[in-house]
Structure 1
Amino acid sequence: MSSFQQYTDEQLLLALDGGSENAFTEIFYRYDSQVHHFILKMVKDVSFAEELTQQVFIKVWEKRSLLKNVKNLRAYLLTISSNLVINNIKKQLSEKSSLENLFNNINSQRSSSSDEILILKDTESIIEKAIQLLPRQQKNVFNLSRKQGMSNDEIAKELNISKFTVKYHLAEAVKGVKKYLQQHEQISSSFLIILSLLYIID
């Protein structure tokens, strides 16, 4: 097992492609806490975050034969994490009882769950556009924090700036994204709440 601890991510993925359970275990130990922390920031529920974290690594094992060309394993794992959270929200929206509970007092004018799901899909592209419109340094800080799950200390070291500067750029980026989203009438207040949980709230 100790030999796998010396492997690079690329070497681990090659071993995983060959069906190595030890390589999979090393990937799990290497990234489990990072993935869990990233998901927990979005869902704000420890047990749910643990469940989704397990699902992330189950997917890694199931797709092991397709991962040998992945260049950034950490980014790949966090992408899976984001997709799992979003898909779980979509699943909740597609269930009638969950839909009624979520939107009963927030968005009563919407007619069906399919409408809400379509709107959620549209908002994903709107969010990306909002991020792309941010000033360069704000965009860099926002992406490192919200997409890659890095802490303020890690971002400061990565960009060679102070932790205070990181906090400032992140706060300004959040303001910019929120303002852009609020200008789109097709995004209801209920979806702004959901999107805040996924992309904005610490």
Structure 2
Amino acid sequence: MYKHTIDNAICIAFIGGDKKAFESIYCTFSKPLYRRILYLVKDPDDADEVLHNIFIKIWTAREQIDPAKNLFAYFMQAANSMAIDHLRKNLRTQVMHDTIIVSGEEHTARSVEDSYISKEDWKILESAIEQLPPQRRLIFKLCKIEGKSYKEVSESLSISPATISNQLVLAMKFLRQFVKQHHKEILLYCLLFDYMGRK
């Protein structure tokens, strides 16, 4: 199916950590992978970022590669998966940054522009998130920003779903208290977080 192939010896050397083999694979695979990623993400800078991350990820996990299988197919599968993940993350960020419209009768007279959460408000919220304890902050970002399920985060961090739920409750309590000191509109962000990523 794939015409981009390398010598099996190069593949084995790559798995063993040979940097020259890595360079050879990069030269052979990078252009077709980039074309595929660009087709999916539609943005050259994003495509470069995804391509870069693919090679880092596979190099880090190279010992898990089966040298008997088609290496380019392995890279292409990673490209498809990471490009789609990138799109999902961008979409979620875009929604939260630009398309949160205030609802309620008291806001009907406001313009569409005034109904969006501003970038300045998002920076305030980000600063609040960064003040969470490390594990709580990680759980919050994985569940509420990246959209991972409780099960995925539970397996990734080796903690129970109940712990995840408790940590998110504490995180939301802190964020609400923090944003009360700033623009009231940011409270809508916290309300959105309450409903996003519930798994």
TM-score range, shorter chain: 0.3 to 0.5
